[in-house]
Structures are given as structure tokens and as C-alpha cells.
Structure 1
């Protein structure tokens, strides 16, 4: 009987841990999801939960690494994501890897009673920095 709580990586859904290089401490997760081989497109999510690891380049490195894997091993053509416009550190990290803003979704994310806009961003295989 399969463990329903266990995550199994497969083509359409790849989930990886993000660790610090110095002590291999788990600080977050990065995911390529809804990958479709016919279209060559996947969506990227990243979560860094350890605040002491923020601002140290871990997110940029994890995004670059999973995108390289997606393009080289999964043969993706494009990786897309959405990010809250006010999350400037995340937007900077995505741009460092080569993502470009493709659109803006108005008032689609709500937190603490306030609505926020999100950017849609995309990265083509040839644009990876």
C-alpha cells in the first residue's frame, strides 16, 4: 500500500529540498509543477522558510539550479511563475536568473485584509543566466 503522504517526483511534478551549502540544513523547497511534455512548459514555486537564510543568494541559486535541470533534463522550453509585486527580493532573484515580466494580474492575492497584484514572469531555455 502506497503512503498517501509521501511525495513522489515524476515528470509533471518535481519537488526538491533547498539546503545551505555550509551545513546541509534544509531551509526550503523548490518545485516545478504541471510540467507538460507536449508543451514544454512548467510552473515554478519556491519557499524559503528559514528567515536567517534570506538575502544570502540561496533562492537565486535554487531557482537557477532547478531551471537548469528543467531545461537540460526535462527538455522544457519555458518556465513560468507568479510573484506578488511587493515581494521585491523575490522579483530581483528571478530577474538575476533571467526571468522577465510578462504581465500583471491585478488584485489576485489577499493577505491581512489587503489585495495585492502579482507579476507573471517567464523564462525561456535560451534566456537562463
Structure 2
């Protein structure tokens, strides 16, 4: 188990399907995400059941609260290769009551610490929509720095938005 101050990270289970479906249907969650087409509960359950096992290259974990053991979101590292020592971070908090309470910050810190310590990564990067100020603050608080910008690379709400590339190197994680 990967544990932080507020959260525990664990493998995604088929029993998480209803929560995943609800989170992905929430406009506040999906606003800045590139989503698949809408899925039924049966499709989501099947996707959870058929999910490949976590590996060095693709690690997807459920974020659950330490206090209640309640699933509240998803975090993952993808595209990791031992040769390059880098991976890309994805995270979201799906439960509205747990947004802005430090859970996302804690989950990000835990997965980054795991990436650097256990996976021996040298670099973790992420893409964030420029207007997603709350997420950018979390990443900056943990030591991520802006490294680049893709102009008008994401379309939402009838307009184009910039994506910001942020990166964190081994030794820069703010504990």
C-alpha cells in the first residue's frame, strides 16, 4: 500500500466502477480531461475487470481516504521506461466533497515519491490546461515547474485552450 497523510493508493477494483462512471460523468471532473465516449455501467465494470495489471510502464491507482477507506479519485504514472527514467502523471479527485481539502496534493506527493524512490524515475511530467488554476497551484506547491506551452491544443466549451507542460525532477519534490 502507498500511504500518505490523508490517502492510500491501491489498485482499481471492479467494485470501483460505479464511482468511476459517476466521476467521469461529472462536468466538473471531466471539464479539463480528454474523455472517451460515454460508457454504460456494464461497460465500465467490464473495463475494470479487464484492466491490465499495473506495470512499470502503466500504473493506475485508486485514491481512497485513510480515515474512511472511501474511493475519491484516480492517479497514475504512464509511459515510464527504465531507459529514459521518466513518466507522465495523471490525477483527478472525483468526489466533490474531497476537492480542495489536500487529498489531491497528498495523492500526487505519494505517487511522485513512489516514482522516484521505487521506480527509480528521474523525471515526472504532466500536462495541465492553462485555465485549471487550482491544479496548477497544487503542482507548483509540490515543486513542479512550467517547462513549456502548447498553444490552443485543447478544445472545450467552444474555444481553444493552451496546455502547459510541467516537470518535476528527482530531488525536487516538496515534502
Cα distance between partner residues in 2 of 1:28 and 1:71: 22
What does residue 135 of structure 2 align with?
A: 90
Q: 2:112 aligns with which of 36, 58, 67?
A: 67
Runs of 4 or more above 6 Å deviation: none
Cα distance between partner residues in 2 of 1:12 and 1:6: 14
Cα distance between partner residues in 1 of 2:49 and 2:105: 31
**Structure 1: unaligned runs, 5 residues or longer:** none
Instruction: Kindly state the Cα deviation for residue 118 of structure 1 after the two structures are TM-superposed.
Output: 1.1
Instruction: Kindly state the Cα deviation for residue 21 of structure 1 after the two structures are TM-superposed.
Output: 2.4
Instruction: Kindly state the Cα deviation for residue 58 of structure 1 after the two structures are TM-superposed.
Output: 0.6
What does residue 122 of structure 2 align with?
A: 77
What does residue 149 of structure 2 align with?
A: 104
For residues 1-129 of structure 1, what are the structure 2 equivalents within 5 Å? 5-129=50-174
C-alpha distance after superposition, 1:75-113 (max 9, x if no partner): 000000000011111000011111000011111111121
Structural RMSD (CA): 1.3
Instruction: Kindly state the Cα deviation for residue 26 of structure 1 after the two structures are TM-superposed.
Output: 0.3
Query: Structure 1 or 2: larger strand share?
Result: 1
Cα distance between partner residues in 2 of 1:46 and 1:123: 15
- TM-score w.r.t. the length of structure 1 is 0.94
Cα distance between partner residues in 1 of 2:80 and 2:173: 18
